[in-house]
Every structure is written in structure tokens, then in C-alpha cells.
Amino acid sequence: MRHFIRILFIFLAVLPLAACDRPAEDPGPAVTYSVYRHSMDGAPTSTDPAQASHIYANFLAVNLYDTLYRYKYLARPYQLEPNLAEGLPQVSADGLIYTIRIKPGVHFIDDPAFPDGKGRVVRAEDFVYSIKRHFDPKTRAQGAWLWQGKIVGLDSWKENGSNYDQEIPGLKALDDRTLQIQLIKPFPQLTHTLAQGFSAIVSREAVDYYGPEFPIRPVGSGPYRLVSFNSASAVLVRNERFREEPFSLEAEGYDPVSHGHLALDRLEGRVPPFSDRIEIEFITEDAARWNAFLAGELDFVKVPVSQFDQVLQQREPPALKPAFAEKYNLLANLESGFVHTDFNMDDPRIGYHPDPRQNARNQALRCAIIKAFDWQKRNEVFYYGIGQVFAGIIPPAAPEFDQKQDQAAIIRDLAGARKLLGDNDWSADNLPVLEYGFSSSVTERQMFEQFRSFMGEMGYPPEKIRPLTFATYGDYARAFLNREVMLITTGWTMDYPDAENTVQLFYGPNSSPGSNSANYNNPEFNRLYRSSSGMQASDMRTAMYRHMNQLVIDDCATISGISRRLILLWSRKLAALPDRSFVGGYFFRFASVDAAEPESRGAGQ
């Protein structure tokens, strides 16, 4: 027994050694330095730009790597700004050839992947390589859809076996600093795609050197480099070799009225990145995230909906209670996307039907369901009443959003719904069973029950509205991408500020397994989409988008929609405008925390 106790004590004594997690390359706390502690409500599993398919991964990709373009820090609506590129692209008169110069003397970080461990200069050829990776099945990349069918020779490069030594006619490095992209047809959103994390520039040496470990061994030229990364956190430190470009309020779209309270003016002329170290905590549990923020362990938090009452003095416009306003800044951030419930138009029970009479009856049924849906209650119960409900598929974050859009599609009209059913010979006996799909979670289940109650008030028998649950979102996605779900509730986050990114959700050829999960296929809509897709932003193109929006509303293809509003809080010690819209994450380089002794920051630390 004594031996056992002795061994136990020795074991407990050496445990702390096993727990030490500081990697060798971490320089550790400097004497005085600034640390920005950011929190996220989700976690990326990879830092590889080829897998930057969501906002959490984008945050890492755009800070560890360089993209050719980014969005201006403060300007709203969003405006493109050269990042690694020297200027905006030179576009040929026919809109098919883009020529881009990249800045001179930009280096990858030092890494054993390079000869002598010294990071080499970033070249135009690196961009070509980075885009090629998306078309190599071995990369398991998720960004190919951005350029698929758009760049001359890129798709056939893949069909020919993805040989990196083979040149692509439409994607060339003319010299070390000049890129040329040749399009098959005009694609005015191309420059936006070059601001995505997907387009971030990697080096071939690092990909080859690290092999399957490359997603956790980033070697980029962005403002930060990675020190540690796991399922709970990521630590980034300043890239000392990042190019020196003084911060200009004017160039970033500063507006004294909107931004005057953020203490950004003291940053004028300084060289980003402003924080020496960024600690990102991935905290999916709302209570833990909120407690850590209140304890001063985080500088930024997305406030859980359950805390809105505690934090907000008023809802419209959202304003903080005085106790919070003293310590924190607030941003009521309308998401750059929306939540909608699509009818599977490929399902003859609710969608298109070969018999014209039944087809018309199905349309009437869909329209009745839309009329019976209560968006105000949905907003109140699940989004604290501060989400923005809008009609159609062009959300408020899109520049083409129409403030004057007819609101009939989002105003509840039970009498009208019942009349539609009656006029089209629908009765409790012959109404079809509705299968409402969702991935298993309490909130999703509650949303389903609310939907069922809305329909019940219209006269739809509750037993005819059934849940179709899936253990994970992946399983749910598999089902609806295989057209097996009748009512599909999903969210869409816009990739770039252009309504083309949302109207394509209803373009016929994009049907499942594409992003048109409604399998909507209206020839007039498709024609308009094809005509508008090559057009530069203009009043005419906006009118076409809005016409397409109206077609979807008239065909009652989707119950849509709501853009959620996020309540973001950050410490007043932090001079920044944190933002999660569109790509997100570019603001890290501009986030400035008062330099302090590391030990003095954060309660209990």
C-alpha cells in the first residue's frame, strides 16, 4: 500500500510536465506587448486556405496568408482594396482579361520548408499554384466553385490529371510580379473572389514539405504567423517581416459620425499589425464564452441570445445598459446572409407537377403556407426580435437590396391562406404530409414545432406535418442535396457583397447537389440570371436582380427570410471595429489593445 501511495505521489508530481503545451517556437511573453484576445463561437479544423469554407477558417486564412484584395476596414457598403496586389486589376474592354501586379519584396515567413529556413519572395506563380490546388482532388479543396467554368483551361487542367507542371492558358504568371487571368465569359465578381480566404497564397515548398500536415503548419505572408493551434484555441504572433503600410483612416473609409467613438484616430499613421499577439479562443458553449468575457479573459465576444436581456437597454436600435456601455463597445451586426426554408420543387407533392392543374394547386398550397408563416413571431422567439425580416432572396446586406420591396410575402395573412386552400380544393383530408427536415438540436426542433403550430392555425392537420431529423448537419446536407427532403431550412452566408451570390441559389442549373436546394427552375429566372451574370454593377443589373427576386416570391418557392442580427461587444481598451460579415477577419491587423504587462491582463490570471 505504501509503495502504491508513493508511486501515486510521484505520478501526480510529474503531471504538470505532461501538461505543458508551449511549443518550442513560441517566443513567450515579451516584457511589454499588446495582446488581443478574440473569441469565436465555432472552431476551424484547418488553416489551409483551400479549406477556408466558413468564417472561422477565413479568420485564420486571411491573417496567416495574403490575398490579392481585401475589403476596406471601415467603409460600408463594403469596398474592395488592394492587399497584396499593387492596385485594382486592369480589365480588358471585353471584361475577359484581368492583369494584376503584386507588390514587390513581400516574403513568406521563415520556415524549414525553404532552403536555409529563410522565407522567399512571394511571386505571381504562387498565386497560380494556389488556385490550381483547388482543382486538384487530392487537396480536398472547397473553393473550386468560385472559379469553376470561368477561367480558360482551368477545368480541363483538372480533367487532364491536375499536373502542376502543365500551364493553364487562362491563369498565367507573366513575370514574378504580374498575373494574368483570362475568363471564358465576363465574371465581374472575380475581384471579390480574390478577397476570399480561398484565394490566399500558399507556397509550393510548404505544401510539399508538410504534406498532409500542411493544414496545421501554415507558411504564409500575412500579418501574423501561427504559434499554436488546437481544438480550443489558436495563438498568432505578429509577422515581423509584414510589409510596412501606414494606416490611413481616410483610405479605410473612416466616418467620424459612425466611428468617432472607437478611438481609431490615434492609430493614424501607425503601421499594422497593431497587436503583437492574437489569442483566439474557440468557445462553442455560450455560458463559458460569456463568463470568460465578463471575467476579463476576452476582449471580444458575440453575445449569446440568452444574455440579450441582461445586456441591452433597448432593442431598436440596440443599445447597451449603462453598466455595460461604460466598459464595452457595441456593434449590432446584421449578418451578411439569411435563413430561409425552401420547398423542394422537385417533389411532386409540393413542387412542380407534370399535370398543369395539380401544378397550380401545389403552387397555391406553397403560397398558403407562406401566408400562414408568422415571421414576426419567428423573429421574437428565436432572434430576440432584432433580426431583419425581408421578402425574397436579396438580403439587406446586399447592395441591391430593395427597401421598397413589397412586404406581402412576409406579412401573415391567415384568412388569405385559408382562402387559397379552399379555392384550390385543398382540405384537411387531401393535404399532403409535409416533411420538415432539420439536423437534430433543441432549437431546430423548437423551430419545427413553431412551424407546425403556424400551419395548424391555418387548418393544416398537425399529424400531417412531420419532422425529418438527422443526427448531424452533414447527414442533413446529404439528404437535401440528394433531393430527399421536402422542406429544407438552411442559412446562406454571402461570399461577397453582390446579390449574384444569392440569386444563384435559385438558378436552375445550380439544382441539387448544387446550391439551389429548392431545385427551383424557372426559365425566365434562368434567362435573367444568364444575362445579368456578366454585367458590371449598374441600375439595369440591379433591376434584373430584383425582377428575379420577385419571380421567386411569386412562384412561392421559399419561405424567406430573415437576416440575424449579432450583438458584438468588445472592451473599450480595444481600438477596433470587429466585423464578421462577408469574409471577416481582416480587422485583426487593425485591432489595437493598449500595451500592458501580460500578467496584469485578465482577472484571475
Partner 1 sequence: MRYALNKIFHGLLLVLGVTLISFILMVWFGPDQTYSLVGKNATAEQIAEVRHELGYDRSFALRYAGYLKQLFTLDLGSSHSSGEPVNSILARTIPVTLALMVPGFVLGNLLGIALGLLSVQQKGRWTDRLITGFSVSSMSISFLVIIILMQVILSTPYGLNLFPVRGWQVNDPGSYLKYVAVPTLSLIFITLGYNTRFYRAVFAEEAGRDHIRTARAYGASTATILWKHVLKNSLVPIITRFMFSIPLIVVSGSLLIESYFGIPGIGKVTFDAITSGDQPVLKAVVGLTAIAFVLIQVLTDFLYKLVDPRIG
Residues lying near partner 1 in the complex (CB under 8 A) are found at 1, 8, 11-12, 15-16, 18-22, 28, 43, 45-46, 48, 53, 137-138, 140-145, 148, 212-216, 230-233, 281-285, 287-288, 291-292, 294-297, 471-475, 477-478, 481, 504, 510, 513-515, 602-605
Alpha helices in 118-255 (DSSP H): 124-133, 154-159, 190-193, 204-210
Nearest-approach distance from CB 410 to partner 1, in angstroms:
26
- Structural contact between residues 40 and 281, judged by C-beta atoms closer than 8 angstroms: yes
| Residue whose CB is less far from partner 1, 364 or 593 | 593
Nearest-approach distance from CB 363 to partner 1, in angstroms:
26
> Quick check: bond before 354 cis, omega within 30?
no
- Structural contact between residues 590 and 73, judged by C-beta atoms closer than 8 angstroms: yes
Nearest-approach distance from CB 218 to partner 1, in angstroms:
12
Nearest-approach distance from CB 149 to partner 1, in angstroms:
10
| Residue whose CB is less far from partner 1, 17 or 93 | 17
Nearest-approach distance from CB 215 to partner 1, in angstroms:
4
Residue among 87, 60, 57, 275 nearest 179 (CA): 87
Nearest-approach distance from CB 25 to partner 1, in angstroms:
14
Query: Which residues does 411 contact at the CB level (< 8 Å), separation at least 6?
Result: 375
| Residue whose CB is less far from partner 1, 259 or 601 | 601
| Residue whose CB is less far from partner 1, 294 or 566 | 294
In whole angstroms, give the CA distance from residue 82 to residue 122: 16
Q: Nine-digit cell at 299?
A: 476582449
Straight-line distance from the first to the last Cα atom of the chain, in angstroms, rounded to the nearest whole number: 39
| Residue whose CB is less far from partner 1, 407 or 472 | 472
- Structural contact between residues 438 and 409, judged by C-beta atoms closer than 8 angstroms: no
Alpha helices in 312-428 (DSSP H): 322-327, 356-372, 375-383, 414-423
Nearest-approach distance from CB 284 to partner 1, in angstroms:
7
| Residue whose CB is less far from partner 1, 254 or 492 | 492
Q: To the nearest 10°, the Cα dihedral for 266, 270, 271, 273?
A: -20
Nearest-approach distance from CB 151 to partner 1, in angstroms:
16
- Structural contact between residues 193 and 496, judged by C-beta atoms closer than 8 angstroms: yes
In whole angstroms, give the CA distance from residue 49 to residue 424: 52
Residue among 474, 465, 472 nearest 441 (CA): 472
| Residue whose CB is less far from partner 1, 129 or 145 | 145
In whole angstroms, give the CA distance from residue 233 to residue 38: 10
Residue in the structure block whose three cell numbers are 397555391: 364
Sign of the dihedral defined by the CA atoms of residues 8, 13, 19, 23, in that order: negative
Q: Nine-digit cell at 570?
A: 468588445
Nearest-approach distance from CB 501 to partner 1, in angstroms:
10
| Residue whose CB is less far from partner 1, 287 or 433 | 287
Q: Nine-digit cell at 90?
A: 486592369
Residues in the chain: 605
| Residue whose CB is less far from partner 1, 45 or 536 | 45
Residue among 502, 484, 285 nearest 394 (CA): 502
| Residue whose CB is less far from partner 1, 279 or 335 | 279
Nearest-approach distance from CB 138 to partner 1, in angstroms:
7
| Residue whose CB is less far from partner 1, 89 or 218 | 218
Nearest-approach distance from CB 415 to partner 1, in angstroms:
40
Nearest-approach distance from CB 98 to partner 1, in angstroms:
22
DSSP, collapsed to helix, strand or coil, labels residue 475 as helix
- Structural contact between residues 417 and 436, judged by C-beta atoms closer than 8 angstroms: no
| Residue whose CB is less far from partner 1, 140 or 527 | 140
Sign of the dihedral defined by the CA atoms of residues 69, 62, 221, 269, in that order: positive
Determine phi and psi for 236, rounding to 5 degrees. -115, 140
In 125-198, beta strands by DSSP E: 171-175, 178-182
| Residue whose CB is less far from partner 1, 180 or 515 | 515
Separation of CA 362 from chain center: 34
Query: Which residues does 194 contact at the CB level (< 8 Å), separation at least 6?
Result: 67, 68, 69, 85, 100
Nearest-approach distance from CB 193 to partner 1, in angstroms:
12
